[in-house]
Structure 1
Amino acid sequence: MNTQPEIEVGIVALEKLHFALGCNFISEKQESLPAGKYRAVIENRQLAVYSAAREKMAASQLLSPEDNNSFFELSDVVIGVGFHWEQNENQRFQGKLKLIAENEKVRAINVVGLEDYLKSVISSEMSATSSPELLKAHAVISRSWLLAQIEKTESLKSGGGIYRTSEETETEIIRWYDREDHSTFDVCADDHCQRYQGITKIHSEKAIAAVNETFGEVLVYEGKICDARFSKCCGGLTENFENVWEPVRHRYLTKVVDSEFGGTTCVDLRQEDEAELWIRNKPHAFCNTTDQKILSQVLPDFDQKTTDFYRWKVEYSQQELAELIKKRSGIDFGEIVKLEPVKRGHSSRLIKLKIHGTKRTLTVGKELEIRKWLSESHLYSSAFVVDHLNEKNGIPQKFVLTGAGWGHGVGLCQIGAAVMGEKGYSYSEILNHYFKGAELKKNY
């Protein structure tokens, strides 16, 4: 098969969805919607579309352009959901526009070819200054991840099972985040999945070439498409999949030492003393770099001011931390007495953290939930140690978190891969480094 499959990308859900068509669009019922501005709302649990002249259009869910080179534009698309740079913007897309009712809102979905989707993703996720080999590696990862998610969704639907994303008791709250939000489309357009902005931003010629040169290529392990993952900076070691997401082991997503000096280490960062020594120092790693040329390949403009991602520090007063945890968790712990590591993964990332308070003691996990509770947006990573300082009557008045890495640390380390690309490694060598035992295969 040489034809790219079509996928459905969830863009935005609003009570009033404003959109514009750049050419004549045709509905499934062969109704014609001419170029112009429209508004979509839910009326009596049904989708209703109005033209700018307030004429009600008898439009069905799926709208296809007569001119494949044309576009549709969506207003007030939220990007960077939950991050410090969250903002609204108007975005343009090629392909088909699908409108559905979703919890009293109108959900806009872009039905688009997978390879066309990737050209936008790679242009959005990576800089045009990136090395060709880094871009090709990223194209393969993004393609593999998406196809694996589609296969997983189809498997869950056919199996009829309930996908669990948490384990909660009176003493523990353990949550992970992955597929729970996306039952009506294949993938979302934000950082929760992969950043996709249609044709809003100019597509990088190098990104387009990387997608074209790897057309249909995926990573496979034992004949199955890999659930390939990536994060900004692993901090020196990558993490096992099961320590971050659902409790399923993928042999190609296990600990990798991010160095050219070998794939193993005698250090066991699951042990607290070893983790503390590792985090408080800066061992050699591909991702241990301050080279702005390399960092600019991976970090967007608003993140390039961040230079302390390999090793970082965050400080909170007692009041700041107590109020933050209460706000982010919805639980009143009282004053915070201690942040106690309970369980770490192979990269030193905390899987479980026990919060001791004067009113409540509770264990939280997995890594993203820990990061959410300890930051206004997301803590850089859960690989950190805590100094409890200035005790008064047994209660610390200051907390210093010293941490390693940026993101969940599973799979490809973007900054490490960028360094490898600059050092002359091929995209297959980069992929082989981060996904042990996986093989490249042309899927279509």
Structure 2
Amino acid sequence: MNGHNRHEKIEIQELPTFYRFPFIKVNVIDDVEQIDFLLSGHFTVEDMTGECGLDSLIGEARWRVAVEASAPAKFQYGISIHEFFQPQQAEKLAGKLQGKGYEPKIQTFGYQWQLGEDRRFKNSSYRVFLDGFPTIREARRIQRHLVDFYQPTIYKYRAREARGVIEMFDVNYNQSIKCSGPIKLTPRERNSVISLLNILGRSDVMEFPDLYNIQFRINDIGKLQCVAEMDIEAYVGGLLTVQYQENYPDSYLETLAITMRSWVAANWGRLHKGEAYQFCSTDHCYYLSGLGTQPRRVLDIVKETKGFVLTCEGEICNTPSHLVCGGHTEKLENISDSDPKSYLKAFFDRAGYEPPPEVPVRLDNEEAIEIWINSKPDVHCNFSRKKDVENFQKFRQYFRWEIEYARHELEEIISKKTEEEIGTLYDIIPLKRGKSGRLLEVEILGSRQNVKLVGDQAVREAFAEERLPSSCFIIRTEMDEHGIPTAFVFFGAGNGDGIGMCQLGAISKAFSGQPAMEI
């Protein structure tokens, strides 16, 4: 795995049968008013309470599902303080927090299942958190008292579920069903196919053959979401299809299949606690565009690697990846509020993990990071130095990147994302960087108030409509004649949080002839 500690015992192990492994539930579509779909085959349709439904749907027909009426969920804020892999450690921290006057809680994530007749795998973790804050400002006030001792991150959770009515009907309105809960379609025979049409105004089709079931639900903002349930190998094939390019070497595709399968097994039940699904189809997890037409090479790779996962010291490895590390990966505990993993460390993305000669050894200070971002070091994911490899533009554009905002434009984004009115934006001050130079804490200086941001995700989201490619960046401020900022230019390195495998670095290794295990 690209970027792991070479002294750790990382192995590929075949687990050909996942005994009692739960089906994967994936949120494949979210935040839409309606979904059109085609059915081919025989299906049972019912709401999740079993109160209303159609006995069966047979044959090919076009259907639509839509929200008739809804009320969005109501939210409060919580602070995730730390995630442990041993319950005793979580209980110890909770006791310390109680001694300081807080009211901490412990939440268990994960799942346990059989990997063989006499072997079990348990991926449980234990999160210590505070909740019940009515506003993000209240949560930030408490976060400031904890940040010197922990790496607390703020999250939003539902205090009241969304409610509404979903209607499903065929285009001729000969058959219809209307429910106050989710609607579930279950195939009653093999080779049945559900095809989702015109997703988000696009002309493409998302096909889901041989599903366990598919569900239409009301999401937190009162719109539709679609959750598909499937086998783990079908899910891996769908993920690999999204990533696939014809010119990828087989060793890279094998690497992706094994690391994706390992990541799914290690994170089942941990990433979307309290949701109706375990994984989403965004860059928070992995994009999924259906399970229909898959390239022959993808089918062959999934079949050849079926059941193979990465293990370390007898446990399945949590194997995240990101598009481009920018030349240096980051260690898990700097990005996540969790215990470290021995195989998720921070390294230069090059042979021997040694720094290139033209850059500083340490990147966690401002002088070093400016040199780093303004350089083009000889690392695996710098394709501008590789003359024998095709131009992977979707990757290369993020090795080093630049984004510019007018001051008023950035002020509006910050206000929207932080829910704080900062007034005139004067400066953005780096406070703490990780091993890769990624920003872990910053302070926004405004005429009305200052706002402190903690965590890679909070930093990336505060300065973009969605999020910045990476938190490894420096800022150049342009001033008017009175010394007031007029524009802010972000210069950055990489795309993603830097944890785990750098995909472009892995592609580079594959082109150089390295097999999957070495990658």
TM-score range, shorter-chain basis?
Answer: 0.7 to 0.9
Counterpart of 1:117, as a letter, is Y
Q: How does 1:81-230 map to 2 (within 5 A)?
A: 89-96=204-211, 97-103=213-219, 105-150=223-268, 152-153=269-270, 179=272, 183-200=275-292, 202-230=293-321
Give the deviation of 1:307 after TM superposition.
3.9
Q: What is the alpha-carbon distance in structure 2 between the residues aligned to residue 392 and residue 208 of structure 1?
A: 62
Deviation at 1:74, TM superposition (A): 1.8
What are the equivalent positions in structure 2 for 1:26-425 lying under 5 Å apart? 26=44, 31-35=55-59, 36-41=61-66, 48-54=167-173, 55-56=175-176, 62-78=184-200, 89-96=204-211, 97-103=213-219, 105-150=223-268, 152-153=269-270, 179=272, 183-200=275-292, 202-262=293-353, 267-290=361-384, 294=389, 304=393, 307-390=396-479, 392-425=481-514
Deviates more, 1:399-408 or 1:312-321: 312-321
Change in Cα spacing, 1:224 to 1:392, as seen in structure 2 (3 Å) is farther
- The answer to whether the Cα contact below 8 Å between 1:276 and 1:385 also exists between their aligned partners in 2 is yes
Q: Once the 2 structures are TM-superposed, how far is the Cα of residue 417 of structure 1 from its aligned partner?
A: 0.5
- Structure with the bigger percentage of strand: 2
Is the contact made by 1:386 and 1:402 (CA closer than 8 Å) also made in structure 2? yes
Q: Distance in 1 between matches of 2:515 and 2:487?
A: 47
Render the CA deviation track for 1:251-308: whole Å, top value 9, x for unaligned.
2111022101435798222222222222222221100113598566xx6xxxx36744
Q: Contact between 2:234 and 2:291, CA under 8 Å: does it hold in 1?
A: no
The number of residues matched between the two structures is 390
Q: Deviations over 1:100-155 (max 9, x none)?
A: 543455543222221122112111023132111111111111111111121x44xx
Question: Which whole-Å deviations, capped at 9, do the CAs of 1:63-109 have from their partners, x for residues lacking one?
Answer: 3334433410123434xxxxxxx968532111233325434555432
Q: Secondary structure at the match of 2:518?
A: helix
| Matches of 1:115 and 1:90, distance apart in 2 | 21
Find the aligned partners of 1:374 and 1:46 in 2 and give their Cα distance.
36
TM-score (norm 2): 0.68
How far is 1:347 from its partner? 0.6
Alpha carbons 2:235, 2:291 under 8 Å: kept: no
Structure 2: gaps spanning 5 or more residues: 1-14, 70-163
Instruction: Quote the residue 1:157 is aligned against.
Output: none
Task: Give 1:10's aligned residue.
Answer: 27
Distance in 1, matches of 2:282 and 2:394, equals 22
CA distance in 2, matches of 1:353, 1:243: 14
Q: Secondary structure at the match of 1:429?
A: coil
Give the 3 Å change call, closer, same or farther, for CA 251–427 of structure 1 in structure 2.
Answer: same
CA distance in 2, matches of 1:10, 1:316: 33
Q: Cα deviations across residues 4-47 of structure 1 (Å, max 9, x unaligned)?
A: 65322222245544322111224589932112123345679566
- Provide the secondary structure at the position in 1 that maps to 2:427: strand
How many angstroms apart in 1 are the aligned matches of 2:275 and 2:412?
A: 34
Decide whether the 8 Å contact of 1:294 with 1:418 is kept in 2. Answer: no
Mapped to 2, the partners of 1:122 and 1:421 lie a distance apart of 16
Aligned amino acid, residue 257 of structure 2: A
Q: What is the percent sequence identity of the aligned residues?
A: 28
Contact 2:35–2:199 (8 Å) recurs in 1:
no
Aligned letter for 1:274? A
How many angstroms apart in 2 are the aligned matches of 1:262 and 1:372? 30
Distance 1:193 1:109 in 2: 14
SS at structure 2 position matched to 1:343: strand
> Which portions of structure 1, spanning 4 or more consecutive aligned residues, are displaced by more than 6 angstroms?
none
User: How many angstroms apart in 2 are the aligned matches of 1:263 and 1:215?
Assistant: 34
Q: CA deviation at 1:217?
A: 1.1
Q: Distance in 2 between matches of 1:305 and 1:133?
A: 20
Q: Is the 8 A contact 1:31 1:58 kept in 2?
A: no
Counterpart of 1:438 in structure 2 is: none
Q: Secondary structure at the match of 2:461?
A: helix
Q: Which amino acid aligns with 1:309?
A: Y
Q: TM-score, normalised by structure 1?
A: 0.78
> 2:41 pairs with 23, 33, 43, which one?
23
Root mean square deviation of aligned Cα: 3.0
Letter in 2 for 1:10: N
Gap change, CA 1:61 and 1:314, over 3 Å in 2 = closer
Contact 1:46 1:101 in 2 (8 A): no
Cα separation, partners in 2 of 1:400 and 1:250, compared to 1, 3 Å: same
Q: Which letter does structure 2 place at the counterpart of 1:7?
A: I
- Please state whether the residue corresponding to 1:118 is helix, strand or coil: helix
Cα distance change of structure 1 residues 124 and 56 upon mapping to structure 2, 3 Å threshold = same
